[in-house]
Amino acid sequence: MTERLHNTLIGAIQADGLLTRRYALWRRIKDVLFRWLVNVGGLLIIAAIGLIFVYLLYVVVPLFRGASAEPGAAYPLAGAEPPLALVLDEYGEIGFSVAADGRYRFFRTDSGAEIASGTLLDRVGVRLTAAATTEPAQGIVALGDSEGGVRLLRLAYDLNYPDGKRQITPRLEYPYGAEPIMVGEQPLLRLAARADEDAATMITADATGRLQLTRLERRENQFTGEVQLERIAGVLPEIPALIRELVLDPTQRSLFVLDATGTLHLFDVTDQAAPQPIDAVDVRTGAAEITALGLLSGGLSLVLGDAAGRLEQWFAVRDEHNRYTLRRVREFPALPTAISGIVPEHYRKGFVAFDRGGSFGIYHATAERQLEHQPLAHPMAAAALAPRADRLLAVHADRSAQLWAIDNRHPEVSWRALWGKVWYESRAEPEFIWQSSSASADFEPKYSLTPLAFGSLKAAFYSMLFAVPLAILGAMYTAYFMNPRLRHFVKPSIEIMAALPTVILGFLAGLWLAPFIERNLLGTFLLLLSLPLACLLGSLLWARLPEALTQRTRPGLEALLLLPLFLGTGWLCLRLGIPLEAALFDGNLPHWVTERLGLGFDQRNSLVVGIAVGVAVIPTIFSISEDAIYEVPRHLTVGSLALGATRWQTMLRVVLLTASPGIFSAVMIGLGRAVGETMIVLMATGNTPIMDMNLFQGLRALSANIAVEMPEAEVDSTHYRILFLAALVLFSVTFLFNTVAELVRQRLRQRYSNL
Amino acid sequence: MHGPRQNWMQSGAPWIWLTAGAVSVSLLIVFGLLGLIIWNGLGHFWPAPVAAFASDRGATQVLGQITGEETVPRHILTDAGEPVPEGMMLVRRYLVKSGNRELQGADFAWYVEPAMGPISFPADAVVLEREDWGNFYGYLVAIKEQGVTLAADAALWPELTARLARRHELRDRVRSIERDAIGAINYALEQLRLDRRTLELAGNAGAAELEAITVRERALEQRYATQAAELATLRQELARDALVIRTAAGAEVELPLTKIVRAYRPNAMGLFAKLGHYAGKVHEFILDDPREANTEGGIFPAIFGTVLLVIVMSIFVTPLGIIAAVYLREYARQNLLTRLVRIAVNNLAGVPSIVYGVFGLGFFVYFLGGSIDQLFYAERLPIPTFGTPGMLWSSLTLALLTVPVVIVATEEGLTRVPRAIREGSLALGATQAETLLRTVLPMATPAMITGLILAVARAAGEVAPLMMVGVVKLAPALPLDGNPPFLHLDRKFMHLGFHIYDVGFQSPNVEAARPLVYATALLLVLVIVTLNLAAIALRQRLRKAYSAADT
């Protein structure tokens, strides 16, 4: 019996031991698991936070990469003669070439395989002598022949998707008739042409040096659908020298003529019957002959290449008398030898230039940037860019062809284009401009971040001007002079303002404060000036009050005593403002500011932003500097007072000095908040990107710009990445401010603990 | 001897008063702002009396609610071509909401005092709130049923009230059919379309499966036809009544009753009637959908969106923040690196919120969302599911934005747990995990809750990042509804803060929208201030509790 009991007990104890051991093991496992969870989780979360910076950088970096050009297929180009004109289709898959003997070919650019071919000339003895191509949307190729005729062809591409694969069938169309348009009897040596759905304009030069303009206008009969062509002819003023190049802009209004003396002529051919000369300039640098010329997309700028390998951009600039003059705008990094060709991109302000020595470069005009430079085995004789600028077909002197794959996604960006002054097309001088989009496709995007950064700083400056004195003085009083019981109430009250959503502050600033200030501008200024005076007045009055009364009041309630005084002052200032404005400023100070001072006045101006953002940062600065002042060790102040310093002297010489690093960090953090503030600047300004410190005008801040444009930016476009760059700038700046502030604060804390 | 004046300067008293002035100004700003929002926000719902007066020296009759007045210098008026009597430097003018937009073009106008006749408040002036075109002001003349005028007698007003009640009831039924029944059918049809597409994509579309889908589509279409027929009858019922209203100018206008949301006669209302009206308007504001491009009606979807956003965000941010804080405080070796990480985390709280929005858009929406769509929602492409801004990405972005707040608060709570408690627990043989889970974390719970409350308060008021990652001015459907899987985190949503921005700044009729914006702002401020006060109170109590535990 006892034995059985004994055995049971032993068994139980053994089992219990086993259980305990198991349990201990389980506890250990749990501990390790938990440790793992926390370690991995914690590190992951911290990494996720770091990811923000990394990801922003990851999106931004491609902006600053150059272009790359990779050689692809190489093959001999068919035909007996070198091409007179070379055109690629939208995808860069199909090439079109036409030679002086009239043979044209469509071929695959990746193999040289012929797709279609034929001849344009039906009689022996006639040869093609000049060619001009237009922008890809029109797809027109104009060809002048040795008998004074011009042929206008359109390259048409039919898209098909048999079994889901893209198939392009090219064909020729003759929108202005298959018969050549006769403009004279002499061989046409130079030709410029543009055409659209309604009209075609051709400028021709023959051996006599006469420049002739021919325009065809299509008239469609509304009822029969029959097309009639109306012909207008004009003669351009005589140019004494041999004509080298002719270029007409896509709007068919401006004609650029380069002659053998190196003079560039600009004509206005809007009135085709009577073309007007605008300007003529010698564009050579030194004696170097101009050897190549290209019109950038948009038709406003010319790129000229000379015998020394120099590349320059020229465009017409309008002066104050509304006169246009041709100006040298910028120079690009040169190629080693004489430039033999310039091929502009079709949608961007970029171009490819190649030289006689055998190298080519990829450039962008606005960014003033050489994105790529490659030496070649053979010099190029001719080249064509695909409309998307991702393929380049080069033809060499020996008629061998080489296809290049070009990766050039963000040529518009360079350090100078982002932060420096840039001379944009049709502007009188280099400027800082932010204008990221426009209705027209060939517009020059203006990505200068300077006006936006300036806007952010301007908003921050005015808001700090408003917030810093209020917050720091307030912190001094609250921490040091205020009645402790009142302090318990006042501090959280001001701090709660930090939690006020900025969208509400922005709404009040834009829809309540801005009209209010516009109505009471003088009153507002009176108020800002008279409030400090009211404090002094309060102090003086208090000193004059009988001591029996002042002694009985607890100290540290001045802030409360001032409230009614301030309300009275405010009421008085606003009451007086309007009649005073009527008496002194013709009744309307904003109007007066515009008329008499010549300053612009917006209702939503920097004054409003300064106050609103100021209100948003007051609690931050107040709270941190109040803590810094409050934590100044008591024995320092008590010592100072015991030595006979007044309370104010102690404040200035002991407390402020000791707490100054804390106050500095408070201002830094406030500044960081002001620079990055979004909703207030978005709602309380007109968001115009101007560079002007004028208090009465608006601004466009980096942050607000992101908020406005980000939803519309196409993913991975240059615009999108630049907005990411703006975010990265904001991130870095505020992070820097905050880190400095935090380091200063930590040192201060250490100093206090040492004291 | 110093004179009293010199004494006063030397004591530094003026400067002390100057610092006091700074505090007073700050206080005035705080309470002034709150007062401004409260006054304008609460005033929105009060039935303002309808004033009738002649303007332009009797040339026009005006009927409307006076919503503002100001004194302006004469030249502002003379510049605008308004005649002002000689010798008058300052002129009073009134902003009057006289509605009737389809007749007058604008529903707000300024009237200059010198040109105004005496103001009266006719008891029979009626305000009609409509589904579109804004308010209508006038006098009730008759009620028509099927185009036939009912006998006009003294009981016109009660009759209108009764018919309006019938209209509301019918309208509710229409809405419930439109939104719930037909909404569910459309949703089911869309799901079937996607099922079909999935089968097609998989390439092994069995005829039987496709047939089954077609059969179900037929059934749904039939159900749709029944519902549509019922809708048509209800709409016909609704179109029965109309009322005839005489405007201030004397023109008689016939308005279909179905378009009228509310009719009241503010000048004839007693205090209790006005209070009742007030309560009704508040009820509508909080629980109804917006009307008229968000400038009228309620803001329920915005409230709902904000609340759901904050809840989803809390679900993300709480564990993340706590784990990071526990790691930093309890597990990580305390060295320079941890110090730097701590500084970095602290500083992230100061990084502009728009930066988080940009990150959220690029990383969450386009990168993560795009990948999710490719992997799991290929049948819906090219229409994106998660590869477009939505609730999930918004709450994740906000979680990232507020995680520093939670980390800092939790760390502070962990630091405040006395060492003795930790050591006691370890001495009794508890593992580190047990010590943390059973003693330290429970003691730090209030600190975590404080952190969470602060995070929620910050998230609720944040707008800039949301504009990029998911908020819209008008969401077609709530992110939570009766169609499985019930919670649709891929949907876009409405938000109180964005509502303020959008209605205040993007709507064509700012004057009409302003009161609603004030009311929305008031609601948002109330929520946020309450949350913050709760956090402050909790923190105070916490500090007291620990200072007791320390001693």
User: What does B104-156 look like in DSSP terms, one character per residue?
Assistant: HS-SEEEEEGGG----B--TTEEEEEESSS--EEEEEEEEEETTEEPP--TTH
Which residues of chain B from 304 to 323 reach within 8 Å of chain A, CB to CB?
320-321, 323
Q: How far is the C-alpha of A701 from the C-alpha of A718, rounded, in Å?
A: 19
Of B324, B433, B521, the CB nearest to A46: B324
- pLDDT in the model for residue A13: 65
Alpha helices in A545-631, H assignment, sequence order: 547-552, 558-584, 589-596, 606-630
Q: What is the domain count for chain A?
A: 3
**Cβ count near A118 (within 10 Å):** 11
Per the structure, the complete domain to which residue A30 belongs is given by 2-64
- From the number of C-beta atoms within 10 Å of its C-beta (0-12, 13-18, 19+), residue B285 rates as buried
Cβ-based neighbours of B271, under 8 Å, separated by 6 or more: none
Q: Which residues of A touch B373 (CB under 8 A)?
A: none
- Please, are residues B261 and B119 in contact by the beta-carbon 8 Å criterion? no
Is the domain of A406 the same as that of A483?
no
User: Do A52 and A72 lie in a common domain?
Assistant: no
The phi-psi region of residue A474 (left if phi > 0; otherwise alpha if psi is between -120 and 50; otherwise beta) is: alpha
What would the pLDDT profile of B239-253 be if each residue is shown by its tens digit?
888 888 888 888 888
pTM for the model stands at 0.89
Quickly state the pLDDT bin for A361 (edges 50, 70, 90).
Answer: very high
Last residue of a domain, one of A384, A410, A435: A435
Q: Tell me the C-alpha distance between B6 and A745, whole Å.
A: 39
Q: Quote the DSSP letter at residue A482.
A: S
Is residue A32 located within the same domain as residue A167? no
The alpha carbon of residue A638 is apart from the nearest alpha carbon of chain B, in Å, by: 17
Q: Which range, of A707-716, B98-107, B321-330, averages the lowest pLDDT?
A: B98-107
Of B331, B458, B536, the CB nearest to A39: B331
pLDDT at residue number B547: 64
The closest CB to that of A742, out of B343, B366, B464, belongs to B343
Residue B76 has pLDDT above 80, yes or no: no
In this complex, do A646 and B10 lie within 8 Å of one another by their Cβ atoms?
yes
Distances (CA, A) of A349 to A115, A300, A443: 32, 10, 9
* DSSP letters spanning A19-50: HHHHHHHHHHHHHHHHHHHHHHHHHHHHHHHH
The answer on A621 and A558 residing in a single domain is yes
Which of A38, A64, A90 marks a domain boundary?
A64
Q: Which residues of B, range 490-529, sit inside 8 Å of A by Cβ?
A: 497-498, 500-501, 504-505, 510, 514, 517, 521, 524-525, 528-529
pLDDT, one tens digit per residue, over A572-598 is: 988 888 778 777 877 678 878 888 887
Q: How confident is the model at residue A9 (pLDDT cuts 50, 70, 90)?
A: low
From B280, B276, B268, B272, select the one nearest B156 (Cα to Cα). B268
- Reported as a pLDDT band with limits 50, 70 and 90, residue B500 is very high
Question: What tokens does A715 get?
Answer: 């993913």
β-pair partners for A248: A255
Please count the CA atoms within 13 angstroms of the CA of A475 that sit on its side-chain side: 30
Q: Do the Cβ atoms of B71 and A578 come within 8 Å? A: yes
- Measured N-to-C along each axis, helices A718-754 and B336-348 cross at an angle, to the nearest 10 degrees, of 120
Query: Residues 431..450 of B with a Cβ closer than 8 Å to A: which?
Result: 431-434, 436-437
| Closest listed residue to residue B128, CA positions, set B308, B7, B257, B304 | B257
* CB within 8 Å: B468 and A52: no
Of B327, B354, B358, nearest to A38 by CB-CB distance is B327
Give the distance from residue B35's alpha carbon to the nearest chain A alpha carbon, in angstroms: 12
Beta carbons within 8 Å of A734's beta carbon, 6+ residues apart: A672, A673, A675, A676, B347, B350, B351, B352
Choose the closest CB to A470 out of B13, B26, B324. Answer: B26
| Beta-carbon separation of A735 and B514 below 8 A | no
Q: Which of B63, B123, B56 is nearest to B248 (CA)?
A: B63
Given this model, what pLDDT does residue A441 score?
A: 66
What confidence tier does A12 reach under pLDDT thresholds 50, 70, 90? low
Answer yes or no: are the C-beta atoms of B355 and A727 closer than 8 Å. yes
Q: What is the pLDDT of residue B1?
A: 36
Contact between chains at B17 and A737 (C-beta distance less than 8 A): no
Query: DSSP code of A312?
Result: E
Q: Where are the alpha helices (DSSP H) in A392-501?
A: 415-419, 450-476, 484-496
DSSP conformation class of B330: I
The reply to whether residue B497 touches residue A503, judged by beta carbons under 8 angstroms, is yes
Note whether A294 and A351 are within 8 A (CB): yes
**Which residues from chain A sit within 8 angstroms of residue B13, using beta carbons?**
539, 542-543, 648
Asked, for residue A32, whether it belongs to a domain, the answer is yes
Residue A123 is assigned to a structural domain of this protein: yes
Length of chain B as a residue count:
551
CB contact (8 A) between residue A562 and residue B24: yes
Chain-chain contact of B22 with A469 (C-beta, under 8 angstroms): yes
With CB atoms and an 8 Å threshold, state whether A647 touches B12.
Answer: yes
Q: Which helix (H) or strand (E) holds A103?
A: strand A103-108
Q: Is residue A442 part of a domain?
A: no
Angle, in degrees to the nearest 10, between helices B271-287 and B300-326: 60
Residues in A touching B460 (Cβ below 8 Å):
501
Q: What is the pLDDT of residue B551?
A: 44
Q: How many inter-chain contacts (A to B, CB under 8 Å) are there? A: 340
Neighbours of B524 (CB within 10 A): 26
Contact A144, A164 (CB under 8 A): no
Please indicate, yes or no, whether residues A411 and A513 belong to a single structural domain of this protein: no
Q: Does A377 touch chain B (CB under 8 A)?
A: no
Examine the domain organization and report whether A611 and A561 are in the same domain. Answer: yes
Residue A455 lies in a domain: yes
Q: Please identify among residues 98-117 of chain B the ones whose CB lies closer than 8 Å to any CB of chain A.
A: none
- Cα radius of gyration (chain A): 38
In a domain, A330, yes or no: yes
CB contact, 8 Å: A476 with chain B? yes
In a domain, residue A694? The reply is: yes
pLDDT for position B160:
87
Q: Is residue A441 part of a domain?
A: no
- Collect all residues of chain A within an 8 Å Cβ-Cβ radius of residue B29: 497, 615, 618
Question: A616 to chain B, minimum CA–CA distance in Å?
Answer: 10
pLDDT score recorded for residue B204: 67
Q: Are residues A344 and A391 in the same domain?
A: yes
- Shared domain for A53 and A195, answered yes or no, is no
pLDDT digits (tens, 9 = 90+) for B397-414: 999 999 999 999 999 889
Verify that A375 and A397 share a domain, yes or no: yes
| Strand A350-355 with A339-344, pairing | antiparallel
Question: Does A160 lie in the same domain as A35?
Answer: no
Nearest Cα to Cα of residue B242 among B373, B326, B136, B147: B147
**What is the spatial distance between Cα A710 and Cα A724, in angstroms, rounded to a whole number?**
9
- Residues A434, A421: contact at Cβ < 8 Å? no
Identify the weakest region by mean pLDDT among A10-14, A612-616, B26-30.
A10-14
Chain A residues touching B363 at Cβ < 8 A: 51, 55
Instruction: Give the domain CATH number at A398.
Output: 2.130.10.10
Encoded amino acid at A160, one letter = N
Residue corresponding to tokens 């600190």:
B447
Contact of A37 with chain B, judged by CB distance below 8 Å, is answered with: yes
What confidence score (pLDDT) does residue A66 get?
A: 83
A687: left (phi over 0), alpha (psi -120 to 50) or beta: left
Q: Which of the four pLDDT bands, split at 50, 70 and 90, describes residue B549?
A: low
Checking ipTM against 0.85, whether it exceeds it is: yes
- What is the token pair recorded at B256? 């279909």
Identity at B442, one-letter amino acid code: P
pLDDT in tens, B432-467: 888 998 889 888 888 888 888 889 888 888 999 999
| DSSP three-state, residue B368 | helix
- Residue A146 domain flag: yes
Instruction: Enumerate residues 265 to 294 of chain B having a beta carbon within 8 A of any beta carbon in chain A.
Output: none
**Interchain contact, B26 vs A618, CB within 8 Å:** yes
Q: Do B14 and A539 touch (CB under 8 A)?
A: yes
Q: Are residues A414 and A538 in the same domain?
A: no
Q: How high does pLDDT run on average in chain A? A: 87
Tell me the angle at which helices A558-584 and B13-43 cross, rounded to the nearest 10 degrees. Answer: 70
CB contact, 8 Å: B537 with chain A?
Answer: no
Count of beta carbons in the 10 Å neighbourhood of residue B212: 13
User: CB contact, 8 Å: B26 with chain A?
Assistant: yes
Average pLDDT of the segment spanning A280-306: 89
CB contact under 8 A, B351 and A735: yes
In a mutational test of the B interface, the residue from A28, A34, A35, A38 whose CB has the highest number of chain B CBs within 10 Å is A38
Q: Using DSSP, how many helices (H) and how many strands (E) does chain A show? A: 17, 31
Lowest mean pLDDT among A5-9, A67-71, A503-507: A5-9
Q: Does B353 touch chain A (CB under 8 A)?
A: yes
Mutation target to probe the A interface, by most A beta carbons within 10 A, among B19, B388, B502 is B19
The CATH number of residue A601's host domain is 1.10.3720.10
Residues of B in contact with A672 (CB under 8 A): 350
B interface test, pick of A27, A32, A35, A46 with most B CB neighbours within 10 Å = A46
Q: Is the pLDDT of residue B469 over 70?
A: yes
Mean pLDDT throughout B284-307?
87
pLDDT at A362: 93
Optimal mutation site among B7, B10, B26, B398, interface A, most CBs of chain A within 10 A: B26
pLDDT exceeds 70 at position B470: yes
Angle at B14 between CA B11 and CA B20, to 5 degrees: 120
A557 and A648 belong to one structural domain:
yes
Q: Who's near B155: CB < 8 A, 6+ residues apart?
A: none
Phi, psi of B466 (to 5 degrees): -65, -30
Q: Which of A435, A464, A480 is the last residue of a domain?
A: A435
